[in-house]
Structure 1
Amino acid sequence: MHSSGEYTRERLGFLSAINVAQPLVNGCRTGRRVCYSRSRWNLATTKRAAKVMIESQSSLPVDVPHCEALTRRWVRDFVLALQLCPYARAPFLANQVRIAVDGATSIQQVERALEREAQVLQHAPEEALATTLLVLPNFHPRDFERFYASTLLLERRWEARGLSDSFVLVFFHPMHMYAKHGAPANGCIPVDQLDYERRAPLPTINLLRDDQVDAAVASGKSTEMLEHNAAHLSTIPLEALEIRFRCLYKTDA
Protein backbone atom coordinates (compact mmCIF):
# COMPACT_ATOMS: atom_id res chain seq x y z
CA MET A 1 0.00 0.00 0.00
CA HIS A 2 1.18 3.50 -0.80
CA SER A 3 -0.10 6.82 0.44
CA SER A 4 -2.07 8.98 -1.97
CA GLY A 5 0.70 11.58 -1.71
CA GLU A 6 2.92 9.55 -4.05
CA TYR A 7 3.13 10.71 -7.63
CA THR A 8 2.86 7.78 -9.98
CA ARG A 9 3.08 7.72 -13.74
CA GLU A 10 -0.10 7.00 -15.69
CA ARG A 11 -0.32 3.54 -17.26
CA LEU A 12 0.83 3.91 -20.84
CA GLY A 13 3.56 1.47 -21.69
CA PHE A 14 5.94 -1.36 -20.83
CA LEU A 15 9.49 -2.01 -22.00
CA SER A 16 8.98 -1.43 -25.73
CA ALA A 17 5.39 -0.22 -25.35
CA ILE A 18 5.34 3.31 -26.75
CA ASN A 19 2.42 5.65 -26.82
CA VAL A 20 0.76 7.59 -29.59
CA ALA A 21 0.35 11.35 -29.07
CA GLN A 22 -2.86 12.38 -27.36
CA PRO A 23 -4.34 15.74 -26.31
CA LEU A 24 -4.69 16.96 -22.75
CA VAL A 25 -7.15 14.62 -21.04
CA ASN A 26 -8.40 14.77 -17.45
CA GLY A 27 -5.48 16.89 -16.32
CA CYS A 28 -2.86 14.57 -17.83
CA ARG A 29 -0.28 15.89 -20.26
CA THR A 30 0.25 13.12 -22.78
CA GLY A 31 3.02 12.91 -25.32
CA ARG A 32 4.15 10.45 -27.94
CA ARG A 33 5.68 8.21 -25.32
CA VAL A 34 4.80 9.22 -21.78
CA CYS A 35 2.02 10.66 -19.68
CA TYR A 36 2.28 12.13 -16.21
CA SER A 37 -0.51 12.40 -13.71
CA ARG A 38 -0.71 16.08 -12.79
CA SER A 39 -3.46 15.64 -10.19
CA ARG A 40 -0.97 14.85 -7.42
CA TRP A 41 1.86 17.13 -8.53
CA ASN A 42 2.13 19.90 -5.95
CA LEU A 43 4.66 22.04 -4.12
CA ALA A 44 5.79 19.17 -1.90
CA THR A 45 6.67 17.09 -4.94
CA THR A 46 8.51 19.98 -6.56
CA LYS A 47 10.62 20.46 -3.44
CA ARG A 48 11.36 16.76 -3.28
CA ALA A 49 12.35 16.70 -6.94
CA ALA A 50 14.73 19.60 -6.31
CA LYS A 51 16.22 17.78 -3.33
CA VAL A 52 17.28 14.79 -5.40
CA MET A 53 19.49 17.10 -7.46
CA ILE A 54 21.91 17.59 -4.56
CA GLU A 55 22.29 14.03 -3.33
CA SER A 56 25.55 12.37 -2.39
CA GLN A 57 27.99 12.00 -5.24
CA SER A 58 29.39 8.72 -3.89
CA SER A 59 28.26 5.57 -5.65
CA LEU A 60 27.94 2.38 -3.64
CA PRO A 61 29.40 -1.05 -4.39
CA VAL A 62 27.09 -3.57 -6.03
CA ASP A 63 27.09 -7.32 -6.59
CA VAL A 64 27.14 -7.18 -10.39
CA PRO A 65 26.71 -10.93 -11.09
CA HIS A 66 23.77 -11.10 -8.68
CA CYS A 67 22.06 -8.05 -10.21
CA GLU A 68 22.58 -9.37 -13.74
CA ALA A 69 21.18 -12.79 -12.84
CA LEU A 70 18.19 -11.26 -11.04
CA THR A 71 17.39 -9.05 -14.02
CA ARG A 72 17.65 -11.97 -16.43
CA ARG A 73 15.25 -13.97 -14.27
CA TRP A 74 12.82 -11.06 -14.34
CA VAL A 75 12.87 -10.86 -18.14
CA ARG A 76 12.68 -14.64 -18.56
CA ASP A 77 10.29 -15.65 -15.77
CA PHE A 78 8.10 -12.56 -15.61
CA VAL A 79 8.14 -10.45 -18.77
CA LEU A 80 8.39 -13.32 -21.24
CA ALA A 81 6.48 -15.88 -19.18
CA LEU A 82 3.51 -13.52 -18.81
CA GLN A 83 3.82 -12.35 -22.44
CA LEU A 84 3.97 -8.72 -21.38
CA CYS A 85 6.26 -7.63 -24.20
CA PRO A 86 6.26 -9.43 -27.57
CA TYR A 87 9.30 -7.38 -28.66
CA ALA A 88 11.49 -8.72 -25.86
CA ARG A 89 11.58 -12.44 -26.66
CA ALA A 90 13.63 -12.47 -29.87
CA PRO A 91 16.45 -10.13 -28.76
CA PHE A 92 16.61 -11.70 -25.30
CA LEU A 93 16.92 -15.24 -26.65
CA ALA A 94 19.46 -14.02 -29.22
CA ASN A 95 21.54 -12.40 -26.45
CA GLN A 96 20.99 -8.94 -27.95
CA VAL A 97 19.90 -7.32 -24.67
CA ARG A 98 22.69 -5.65 -22.72
CA ILE A 99 22.34 -5.66 -18.93
CA ALA A 100 24.53 -2.96 -17.39
CA VAL A 101 24.74 -2.61 -13.59
CA ASP A 102 25.77 0.67 -11.96
CA GLY A 103 26.07 1.67 -8.30
CA ALA A 104 24.77 5.22 -8.88
CA THR A 105 22.98 6.90 -6.00
CA SER A 106 22.40 10.39 -7.47
CA ILE A 107 20.80 11.81 -10.59
CA GLN A 108 24.18 13.08 -11.79
CA GLN A 109 25.66 9.59 -11.56
CA VAL A 110 22.65 8.06 -13.31
CA GLU A 111 22.98 10.63 -16.10
CA ARG A 112 26.61 9.67 -16.63
CA ALA A 113 25.67 5.99 -16.72
CA LEU A 114 22.90 6.70 -19.24
CA GLU A 115 25.27 8.68 -21.46
CA ARG A 116 27.78 5.84 -21.35
CA GLU A 117 25.17 3.25 -22.28
CA ALA A 118 23.74 5.47 -25.01
CA GLN A 119 27.18 5.63 -26.60
CA VAL A 120 27.49 1.84 -26.44
CA LEU A 121 24.12 1.46 -28.17
CA GLN A 122 24.91 4.12 -30.73
CA HIS A 123 28.14 2.46 -31.81
CA ALA A 124 26.78 -1.10 -31.89
CA PRO A 125 24.80 -2.46 -34.86
CA GLU A 126 21.18 -3.19 -34.00
CA GLU A 127 21.51 -6.82 -35.05
CA ALA A 128 24.19 -7.22 -32.36
CA LEU A 129 22.65 -5.05 -29.62
CA ALA A 130 18.94 -4.29 -29.68
CA THR A 131 18.43 -2.55 -26.35
CA THR A 132 19.96 -1.95 -22.91
CA LEU A 133 18.67 -2.46 -19.39
CA LEU A 134 20.54 -0.15 -17.01
CA VAL A 135 20.14 -1.67 -13.54
CA LEU A 136 20.50 0.74 -10.59
CA PRO A 137 20.21 -1.26 -7.35
CA ASN A 138 21.19 1.72 -5.15
CA PHE A 139 18.94 4.33 -6.78
CA HIS A 140 15.98 4.63 -4.35
CA PRO A 141 15.06 0.93 -4.39
CA ARG A 142 12.64 1.32 -1.44
CA ASP A 143 11.31 4.81 -2.20
CA PHE A 144 9.15 4.91 -5.31
CA GLU A 145 8.06 8.51 -4.72
CA ARG A 146 11.64 9.72 -4.80
CA PHE A 147 12.48 7.47 -7.74
CA TYR A 148 9.50 8.85 -9.65
CA ALA A 149 10.49 12.46 -8.94
CA SER A 150 13.98 11.61 -10.19
CA THR A 151 12.64 10.15 -13.43
CA LEU A 152 10.84 13.41 -14.20
CA LEU A 153 14.09 15.34 -13.91
CA LEU A 154 16.05 12.74 -15.84
CA GLU A 155 13.60 12.81 -18.74
CA ARG A 156 13.51 16.60 -18.88
CA ARG A 157 17.28 16.86 -18.93
CA TRP A 158 17.52 13.99 -21.45
CA GLU A 159 15.13 15.82 -23.78
CA ALA A 160 16.81 19.21 -23.22
CA ARG A 161 20.09 17.74 -24.44
CA GLY A 162 18.46 16.32 -27.56
CA LEU A 163 19.16 12.72 -26.57
CA SER A 164 15.49 11.74 -26.77
CA ASP A 165 15.76 12.03 -30.56
CA SER A 166 17.98 8.94 -30.53
CA PHE A 167 16.97 6.99 -27.43
CA VAL A 168 13.83 6.65 -25.33
CA LEU A 169 13.92 5.94 -21.59
CA VAL A 170 11.43 3.60 -19.90
CA PHE A 171 11.54 3.25 -16.11
CA PHE A 172 10.85 0.26 -13.83
CA HIS A 173 10.83 -0.02 -10.05
CA PRO A 174 10.13 -2.77 -7.47
CA MET A 175 7.32 -0.67 -5.95
CA HIS A 176 5.92 0.91 -9.11
CA MET A 177 2.31 2.07 -8.93
CA TYR A 178 0.23 3.67 -11.65
CA ALA A 179 -1.82 6.75 -10.85
CA LYS A 180 -5.29 5.77 -9.73
CA HIS A 181 -8.18 8.19 -9.91
CA GLY A 182 -10.63 8.34 -7.04
CA ALA A 183 -8.32 7.33 -4.17
CA PRO A 184 -10.17 5.87 -1.16
CA ALA A 185 -11.05 8.08 1.77
CA ASN A 186 -8.35 6.58 4.00
CA GLY A 187 -5.69 8.04 1.70
CA CYS A 188 -4.19 4.68 0.69
CA ILE A 189 -3.89 3.54 -2.90
CA PRO A 190 -4.20 -0.24 -3.25
CA VAL A 191 -1.85 -2.23 -5.44
CA ASP A 192 -3.54 -3.88 -8.41
CA GLN A 193 -2.45 -6.34 -11.08
CA LEU A 194 -1.57 -3.69 -13.66
CA ASP A 195 1.10 -2.22 -11.39
CA TYR A 196 3.20 -5.31 -12.09
CA GLU A 197 3.48 -4.30 -15.73
CA ARG A 198 6.19 -1.83 -14.71
CA ARG A 199 7.67 -3.60 -11.69
CA ALA A 200 11.20 -4.97 -11.80
CA PRO A 201 13.17 -6.53 -8.93
CA LEU A 202 15.65 -3.61 -9.05
CA PRO A 203 15.31 0.00 -10.25
CA THR A 204 15.92 -0.23 -13.98
CA ILE A 205 15.98 2.06 -17.00
CA ASN A 206 15.40 0.58 -20.43
CA LEU A 207 17.15 2.45 -23.27
CA LEU A 208 15.26 1.97 -26.52
CA ARG A 209 16.42 2.97 -29.97
CA ASP A 210 14.18 5.71 -31.34
CA ASP A 211 13.69 3.99 -34.69
CA GLN A 212 12.35 0.92 -32.86
CA VAL A 213 9.92 3.17 -31.04
CA ASP A 214 8.73 4.81 -34.24
CA ALA A 215 8.22 1.43 -35.89
CA ALA A 216 6.15 0.17 -32.94
CA VAL A 217 3.96 3.28 -32.98
CA ALA A 218 3.49 3.22 -36.76
CA SER A 219 2.49 -0.45 -36.76
CA GLY A 220 -0.07 0.00 -34.00
CA LYS A 221 1.46 -2.90 -32.07
CA SER A 222 2.21 -0.76 -29.03
CA THR A 223 -1.51 -0.06 -28.56
CA GLU A 224 -2.31 -3.74 -29.01
CA MET A 225 0.24 -4.63 -26.35
CA LEU A 226 -1.20 -2.16 -23.87
CA GLU A 227 -4.66 -3.59 -24.35
CA HIS A 228 -3.35 -7.15 -24.11
CA ASN A 229 -1.47 -6.46 -20.87
CA ALA A 230 -4.45 -4.78 -19.24
CA ALA A 231 -6.75 -7.66 -20.16
CA HIS A 232 -4.26 -10.44 -19.42
CA LEU A 233 -3.02 -9.18 -16.05
CA SER A 234 -6.58 -8.61 -14.84
CA THR A 235 -7.23 -12.35 -15.18
CA ILE A 236 -4.36 -13.27 -12.84
CA PRO A 237 -5.09 -13.12 -9.09
CA LEU A 238 -3.09 -10.38 -7.39
CA GLU A 239 -1.70 -12.85 -4.86
CA ALA A 240 -0.38 -15.05 -7.67
CA LEU A 241 1.45 -12.08 -9.22
CA GLU A 242 2.91 -11.14 -5.84
CA ILE A 243 4.20 -14.68 -5.29
CA ARG A 244 5.68 -14.88 -8.79
CA PHE A 245 7.42 -11.54 -8.29
CA ARG A 246 8.84 -12.48 -4.87
CA CYS A 247 10.17 -15.74 -6.30
CA LEU A 248 12.46 -13.75 -8.58
CA TYR A 249 14.60 -12.91 -5.56
CA LYS A 250 15.35 -16.55 -4.75
CA THR A 251 19.03 -17.17 -5.42
CA ASP A 252 18.42 -20.78 -6.36
CA ALA A 253 16.04 -19.88 -9.20
Structure 2
Amino acid sequence: MTDTSTERSFPEDIVIADTVRWLEKAVIGLNLCPFAKSVHVKGQIHYVVSQATDAEGVVMDLHRELEALAEISPDKRDTTLLILPQALQEFLDFNDFLEVADAMVEELELGGILQVASFHPRFQFEGTDVDDVTNCTNRAPYPTLHLLREDSIDKAVEAFPEAETIYERNMEVLEQMGIEGWLDLDLAARCPFTGRDATPPTEKD
Protein backbone atom coordinates (compact mmCIF):
# COMPACT_ATOMS: atom_id res chain seq x y z
CA MET A 1 0.00 0.00 0.00
CA THR A 2 1.14 3.52 -0.65
CA ASP A 3 2.01 5.65 2.34
CA THR A 4 0.32 8.97 1.64
CA SER A 5 1.32 10.52 4.96
CA THR A 6 5.01 10.92 4.25
CA GLU A 7 6.53 14.02 5.74
CA ARG A 8 8.23 14.71 2.44
CA SER A 9 4.99 14.90 0.51
CA PHE A 10 4.91 17.79 -1.93
CA PRO A 11 2.87 20.78 -0.71
CA GLU A 12 -0.26 21.04 -2.82
CA ASP A 13 -0.05 24.81 -3.18
CA ILE A 14 3.42 24.61 -4.75
CA VAL A 15 2.48 21.82 -7.15
CA ILE A 16 -0.74 23.52 -8.23
CA ALA A 17 0.99 26.89 -8.63
CA ASP A 18 3.62 25.27 -10.87
CA THR A 19 0.91 23.62 -12.94
CA VAL A 20 -1.20 26.76 -13.29
CA ARG A 21 1.90 28.71 -14.36
CA TRP A 22 2.58 26.11 -17.06
CA LEU A 23 -1.05 26.23 -18.17
CA GLU A 24 -1.14 30.02 -18.39
CA LYS A 25 2.31 30.61 -19.91
CA ALA A 26 2.61 27.63 -22.24
CA VAL A 27 -0.71 25.92 -22.96
CA ILE A 28 -2.73 29.16 -23.08
CA GLY A 29 0.07 31.68 -23.58
CA LEU A 30 1.42 29.91 -26.66
CA ASN A 31 -2.09 28.79 -27.65
CA LEU A 32 -0.99 25.15 -27.70
CA CYS A 33 -4.58 24.21 -26.92
CA PRO A 34 -7.23 26.67 -28.15
CA PHE A 35 -9.79 25.03 -25.86
CA ALA A 36 -7.96 25.53 -22.56
CA LYS A 37 -8.55 29.23 -21.95
CA SER A 38 -12.32 29.00 -21.65
CA VAL A 39 -12.40 26.32 -18.93
CA HIS A 40 -9.52 28.04 -17.11
CA VAL A 41 -11.26 31.40 -17.05
CA LYS A 42 -14.52 29.79 -15.90
CA GLY A 43 -12.75 27.94 -13.08
CA GLN A 44 -13.85 24.57 -14.44
CA ILE A 45 -10.46 22.87 -14.09
CA HIS A 46 -10.09 20.70 -11.00
CA TYR A 47 -6.50 20.31 -9.75
CA VAL A 48 -5.70 17.22 -7.70
CA VAL A 49 -2.23 16.61 -6.24
CA SER A 50 -1.62 12.93 -5.69
CA GLN A 51 0.73 11.99 -2.87
CA ALA A 52 1.11 8.49 -4.29
CA THR A 53 4.66 7.26 -4.66
CA ASP A 54 3.97 4.25 -6.89
CA ALA A 55 1.61 3.02 -9.59
CA GLU A 56 -0.65 1.29 -7.06
CA GLY A 57 -1.34 4.58 -5.32
CA VAL A 58 -1.94 6.35 -8.64
CA VAL A 59 -4.49 3.69 -9.58
CA MET A 60 -6.53 4.45 -6.46
CA ASP A 61 -6.39 8.21 -7.05
CA LEU A 62 -7.29 7.86 -10.72
CA HIS A 63 -10.22 5.58 -9.92
CA ARG A 64 -11.58 8.13 -7.45
CA GLU A 65 -11.16 11.11 -9.77
CA LEU A 66 -12.69 9.40 -12.80
CA GLU A 67 -15.80 8.55 -10.80
CA ALA A 68 -15.96 12.06 -9.33
CA LEU A 69 -15.69 13.74 -12.74
CA ALA A 70 -18.35 11.48 -14.21
CA GLU A 71 -20.77 12.30 -11.39
CA ILE A 72 -20.36 16.08 -11.17
CA SER A 73 -21.93 18.63 -13.50
CA PRO A 74 -19.61 19.83 -16.30
CA ASP A 75 -20.61 23.40 -15.42
CA LYS A 76 -18.87 22.93 -12.09
CA ARG A 77 -16.01 20.72 -13.26
CA ASP A 78 -15.28 20.28 -16.93
CA THR A 79 -11.91 18.58 -16.60
CA THR A 80 -9.46 17.29 -14.00
CA LEU A 81 -5.68 17.45 -13.83
CA LEU A 82 -4.35 14.65 -11.62
CA ILE A 83 -0.77 15.70 -10.82
CA LEU A 84 1.82 13.13 -9.73
CA PRO A 85 4.86 14.86 -8.17
CA GLN A 86 6.21 11.67 -6.59
CA ALA A 87 5.13 8.82 -8.86
CA LEU A 88 5.96 7.57 -12.37
CA GLN A 89 8.90 9.92 -12.75
CA GLU A 90 10.44 7.78 -15.49
CA PHE A 91 8.71 8.51 -18.76
CA LEU A 92 8.62 4.90 -19.97
CA ASP A 93 6.96 3.78 -16.72
CA PHE A 94 4.46 6.61 -17.06
CA ASN A 95 3.82 5.74 -20.69
CA ASP A 96 3.18 2.11 -19.77
CA PHE A 97 0.75 3.23 -17.06
CA LEU A 98 -1.47 4.89 -19.68
CA GLU A 99 -2.65 1.42 -20.70
CA VAL A 100 -3.81 0.89 -17.12
CA ALA A 101 -5.61 4.25 -17.22
CA ASP A 102 -7.41 3.42 -20.46
CA ALA A 103 -8.40 0.00 -19.11
CA MET A 104 -9.82 1.63 -15.99
CA VAL A 105 -12.01 3.93 -18.08
CA GLU A 106 -13.50 0.86 -19.73
CA GLU A 107 -13.86 -1.06 -16.45
CA LEU A 108 -15.82 1.84 -14.97
CA GLU A 109 -18.03 1.83 -18.09
CA LEU A 110 -16.94 5.37 -18.88
CA GLY A 111 -15.76 4.67 -22.41
CA GLY A 112 -17.22 7.32 -24.72
CA ILE A 113 -17.83 9.54 -21.69
CA LEU A 114 -14.35 10.24 -20.35
CA GLN A 115 -10.83 9.77 -21.62
CA VAL A 116 -7.35 10.21 -20.18
CA ALA A 117 -4.66 12.31 -21.85
CA SER A 118 -1.19 12.86 -20.42
CA PHE A 119 1.78 15.19 -19.91
CA HIS A 120 5.22 14.42 -18.52
CA PRO A 121 8.37 16.49 -17.88
CA ARG A 122 10.43 13.88 -19.75
CA PHE A 123 8.02 13.32 -22.61
CA GLN A 124 9.79 12.33 -25.81
CA PHE A 125 8.33 11.50 -29.20
CA GLU A 126 9.68 8.35 -30.78
CA GLY A 127 12.57 9.16 -33.09
CA THR A 128 13.41 12.53 -31.48
CA ASP A 129 16.34 13.65 -29.34
CA VAL A 130 15.65 14.46 -25.71
CA ASP A 131 16.36 18.16 -26.34
CA ASP A 132 14.12 18.38 -29.42
CA VAL A 133 11.86 21.34 -28.65
CA THR A 134 8.83 19.65 -30.23
CA ASN A 135 8.72 17.29 -27.26
CA CYS A 136 7.67 20.26 -25.15
CA THR A 137 4.15 20.14 -26.60
CA ASN A 138 3.53 17.29 -24.16
CA ARG A 139 5.76 18.37 -21.28
CA ALA A 140 4.48 19.68 -17.95
CA PRO A 141 6.27 20.41 -14.65
CA TYR A 142 5.09 17.08 -13.19
CA PRO A 143 3.69 13.81 -14.57
CA THR A 144 0.04 14.66 -15.12
CA LEU A 145 -3.05 12.70 -16.11
CA HIS A 146 -5.64 14.86 -17.84
CA LEU A 147 -9.19 13.58 -17.41
CA LEU A 148 -11.45 14.92 -20.16
CA ARG A 149 -15.11 14.70 -21.09
CA GLU A 150 -15.79 13.33 -24.56
CA ASP A 151 -18.72 15.76 -24.96
CA SER A 152 -16.46 18.72 -24.22
CA ILE A 153 -13.95 17.53 -26.81
CA ASP A 154 -16.69 17.18 -29.42
CA LYS A 155 -18.01 20.68 -28.70
CA ALA A 156 -14.51 22.16 -28.86
CA VAL A 157 -13.83 20.50 -32.21
CA GLU A 158 -17.12 21.83 -33.57
CA ALA A 159 -16.07 25.34 -32.55
CA PHE A 160 -12.62 24.82 -34.09
CA PRO A 161 -13.30 22.87 -37.32
CA GLU A 162 -9.63 22.68 -38.29
CA ALA A 163 -8.61 20.96 -35.05
CA GLU A 164 -6.35 18.58 -36.98
CA THR A 165 -4.07 21.52 -37.77
CA ILE A 166 -3.37 22.30 -34.10
CA TYR A 167 -0.60 19.70 -33.88
CA GLU A 168 1.27 21.06 -36.90
CA ARG A 169 0.83 24.65 -35.75
CA ASN A 170 2.19 23.80 -32.29
CA MET A 171 5.26 22.19 -33.79
CA GLU A 172 5.92 25.32 -35.86
CA VAL A 173 5.53 27.61 -32.85
CA LEU A 174 7.98 25.61 -30.76
CA GLU A 175 10.50 25.23 -33.55
CA GLN A 176 10.46 29.00 -34.04
CA MET A 177 11.05 29.73 -30.34
CA GLY A 178 13.66 26.97 -29.92
CA ILE A 179 14.63 25.15 -26.74
CA GLU A 180 16.15 28.29 -25.22
CA GLY A 181 12.89 30.16 -25.73
CA TRP A 182 11.01 27.35 -24.03
CA LEU A 183 13.40 27.36 -21.06
CA ASP A 184 12.99 31.14 -20.80
CA LEU A 185 9.33 30.55 -19.93
CA ASP A 186 10.62 29.27 -16.56
CA LEU A 187 8.12 26.42 -16.30
CA ALA A 188 10.26 23.93 -14.41
CA ALA A 189 8.90 22.55 -11.17
CA ARG A 190 10.63 23.77 -8.02
CA CYS A 191 11.63 21.15 -5.47
CA PRO A 192 10.11 22.32 -2.15
CA PHE A 193 12.83 20.61 -0.12
CA THR A 194 15.97 21.79 -1.89
CA GLY A 195 14.77 24.91 -3.67
CA ARG A 196 16.43 23.60 -6.83
CA ASP A 197 14.92 22.91 -10.21
CA ALA A 198 13.22 19.54 -9.84
CA THR A 199 12.42 19.04 -13.52
CA PRO A 200 14.86 16.86 -15.50
CA PRO A 201 17.06 18.85 -17.92
CA THR A 202 15.97 19.08 -21.52
CA GLU A 203 19.54 19.30 -22.73
CA LYS A 204 21.63 16.20 -23.36
CA ASP A 205 24.11 15.34 -20.62
TM-score (norm 2): 0.81
What's the offset of the Cα at 1:217? Answer: 5.0
Distance change in 2, residues 1:123/1:154 (3 Å): closer
Indicate whether 1:162 and 2:103 are aligned: no
Indicate whether 1:78 and 2:30 are aligned: no
3-state DSSP of counterpart to 1:201: coil
Match of 1:69 among 10, 17, 20: 17
The CA distance in 2 between the partners of 1:179 and 1:78, in whole Å, is: 22
Indicate whether 1:57 and 2:11 are aligned: no
The CA distance in 2 between the partners of 1:222 and 1:138, in whole Å, is: 33
1:22-171 to 2 correspondence within 5 Å?
57-59=2-4, 60=6, 61-141=9-89, 143-171=90-118
What's the offset of the Cα at 1:146? Answer: 1.7
3-state DSSP of counterpart to 2:185: helix
What's the offset of the Cα at 1:109? Answer: 1.9
What's the offset of the Cα at 1:198? Answer: 0.6
Distance change in 2, residues 1:131/1:246 (3 Å): closer
The one-character-per-residue Cα deviations of 1:72-96 (angstroms, maximum 9, x if unpaired) are: 1111112111111110001101211
The one-character-per-residue Cα deviations of 1:104-140 (angstroms, maximum 9, x if unpaired) are: 1232322221222123222322222111111111112
Output the amino acid matched with 2:184: I
Equivalent pair of 1:74/1:248 in contact (CA under 8 Å): no
Count of matched residue pairs: 189
What's the offset of the Cα at 1:211? Answer: 1.1
What's the offset of the Cα at 1:159? Answer: 3.1
The CA distance in 2 between the partners of 1:244 and 1:250, in whole Å, is: 17
What's the offset of the Cα at 1:201? Answer: 0.3
Output the amino acid matched with 2:83: V
Structure 1 residue runs of 4 or more that deviate by more than 6 Å after TM superposition: none
The one-character-per-residue Cα deviations of 1:205-230 (angstroms, maximum 9, x if unpaired) are: 11000112233456644312212212
Indicate whether 1:195 and 2:143 are aligned: no
The one-character-per-residue Cα deviations of 1:146-205 (angstroms, maximum 9, x if unpaired) are: 22122233323433443332211011111111111xx7xxxxx34212111110001111
Equivalent pair of 2:141/2:188 in contact (CA under 8 Å): no
Indicate whether 1:240 and 2:181 are aligned: yes
3-state DSSP of counterpart to 2:81: strand
What's the RMSD between the two structures over aligned residues? 2.5
The CA distance in 1 between the partners of 2:187 and 2:23, in whole Å, is: 14
Equivalent pair of 1:100/1:132 in contact (CA under 8 Å): yes
3-state DSSP of counterpart to 1:82: coil
Distance change in 2, residues 1:173/1:222 (3 Å): same
Equivalent pair of 1:73/1:248 in contact (CA under 8 Å): no
Distance change in 2, residues 1:158/1:126 (3 Å): closer
Segments of 5+ residues of structure 2 without an aligned counterpart are: 193-205
Distance change in 2, residues 1:158/1:122 (3 Å): closer
Indicate whether 1:177 and 2:124 are aligned: yes
Match of 2:153 among 202, 210, 213: 213
Matching residue of 2:197: none
